[in-house]
Each structure stands twice: as structure tokens, then as C-alpha cells.
Chains A and B, each alone.
Chain A
Amino acid sequence: MTLETKPDSLQHRVMQSPLGRARGLGSGQSGAGTWKLERVTSVALVPLSLWFVYVVLHLAHADYATTRYFIGEKVHAVLFLALIVSLFPHLALGLRSVIEDYVRNDLPKFLYLFAVNAGCVLLALAAAISVIKLAI
């Protein structure tokens, strides 16, 4: 959207508060979903991350066969997949809020958000396929 550079041409906008401009337009539709996903993933990550600390302590020095067996056990594989599906959406939303706060211009913001979302999807898929491969 191209805007005029002279402040005087903006009078019609200046006369309205941001609230007044937004009022009556309805909701943004998807805001509550994002908010909820942020909370649901954080609640899920409380037990999952504590379990994961135990896993790291348990496997930090483990060899190849032990590690593969441990990850492939059904209970552990399920918990790993649960960790993956909560962690990466949580990470993507967290980085999104940081980017939205600190990157002002639209094109860089779009590119950063695209990189973060695409990166999170690819990392989650790589992690999930690794766990599934060890579990079956």
C-alpha cells in the first residue's frame, strides 16, 4: 500500500484512534487459536521436557545400540513424538512473536517468518521420521 509522504494528507486517519479504526470490523478470526495453541503446547511441554531431561541424562554417554533401542521402545517413541509435535509449534510461535516485535518492515518479516515456519516443519518431520524408523 502506497501512502502519501505529507503528514497533512493523513488527517482523516489522525482523527480516528486505533481502537476506533478497528471497532466494528469483527475479530481477526484466528487469534484465539494461536493463543490456545501456545498454552496447550506449553502445558504439554511441562511433563515432556522433564521426561526429556531424564532421557538426556540417561543417554548422554550411551552407545549406538543402546540409544537406538531406548528411542525405539514404544513408550519412549510415543513420548518422543509427543515432544516433537508440541515442541516445534511452540518454537515456531515463540520465534514468531520475537520476529513480530523486532522486525518492522513487511518483506524481511515475511521472509523470517517463512524461514522459521519452514525450518520448524522440516525439523519436526526429520525428528518424527527418525523416531518412527527406530520404533518399527
Chain B
Amino acid sequence: MEDMRDAMLVGRNSAGKRVLRPTSPHVQVYRWKITMAQSILHRATGIALGVGAVVLVAWLFAAASAPSVFAPVQAAIASPLGLLVLFGFTVSLFYHLAAGLRHLAWDTGWGFAIASVFVWVIGFFLV
């Protein structure tokens, strides 16, 4: 046993024999649910925006440096691929923003009913 947390997984079966408690099946066993996709997307877009933050720093740093440093950075950002990536960051930002607002609503105890999931999904696509 390499981890203290494993101690919580030890139990007894109906014959009184000491066994490891059964654990939940891993994620691929479950049918996809909207709430699960939302949670994963919130994390995924958060990580994507972390990459976007690195781009932001590179851009600010280049702007504060010589024109010869700024030119390639700006060219990369204004290129078709750069604009596509920016578009991806923007979509990620709006998803993460909407999901973040939902988290804040949850913190106030509002919006836990199952039906409210659909309100958020429909609301997001309307926006």
C-alpha cells in the first residue's frame, strides 16, 4: 500500500473476509450526460485559455520590445491560422465565462434543479 488513501478502500465482504471495497467504474463506462460534458468542457476551455494567457504575455512582451521582435508576433497573430486560433480562444472564453457564471449562481444556491441544465444549454447557444 503506497498511499494513506488506500486505507479507506479496505472493507469486509459478506463472509467477513477483508477485501478492497469496490470502486466506481472509470469514466468511459458511463453514458454521456450534458452535465458531464459541461464540466469537462469547463476544464478543457480553462486549460485552453491558459495557453491563450501565454500568447497574451508573448504579445505584451513583444509590444514592449523592439519593432523587430513585435513584427513576427503580430504577423503570426494576424495570419489566417492566428486568427483561427484567436477565434478558438474567443469561443473558449465565452463558454468558460458562461459556465463560470453558472458556478457563481450555484454558489448562491440557485440553479440546481435538473431542468435548469437545459436553460443554461439553450441560453448558451442563443448567445
A residues whose Cβ falls under 8 Å from a Cβ of B:
1, 3-5, 7-8, 10, 13-14, 18, 39, 42-43, 45-46, 49-50, 53, 56, 60-64, 67-68, 71, 80, 87-88, 91, 94-95, 98, 104-105, 123, 126-127, 129-131, 133-134
Complex formed: what's the CA distance from A134 to B43 in Å?
33
B93 located at the interface, meaning its Cβ lies under 8 Å from any Cβ of chain A in the complex: yes
- B residues 1-33 near A (Cβ < 8 Å) are 1-4, 7-8, 10-11, 18, 20
Given contacts A4-B1, A10-B10, A49-B97, contact A88 B70 (CB under 8 A): no
Q: CA of A129 to CA of B64 in the docked complex: distance in angstroms?
A: 9
The dominant DSSP class at the B interface is: helix
Task: Return A69 CB to nearest CB of chain B, in Å.
Answer: 10
Q: A42-B100, A42-B103, A94-B46 are in contact. Are A64 and B78 (CB under 8 A)?
A: no
B-side interface size class: 35 or more
Q: How far is the CA of A82 from the CA of B108 in the complex (A)?
A: 25
A94 cross-chain contacts in B, Cβ below 8 A: 43, 46-47, 50
Are B3 and A130 interface neighbours, CB within 8 A?
Answer: no
The answer to whether B8 and A64 have CB atoms under 8 Å apart is: no
11 A-B residue pairs with CB within 8 Å? A3-B3, A3-B4, A7-B10, A45-B97, A50-B97, A60-B83, A62-B74, A123-B54, A123-B57, A127-B60, A130-B63
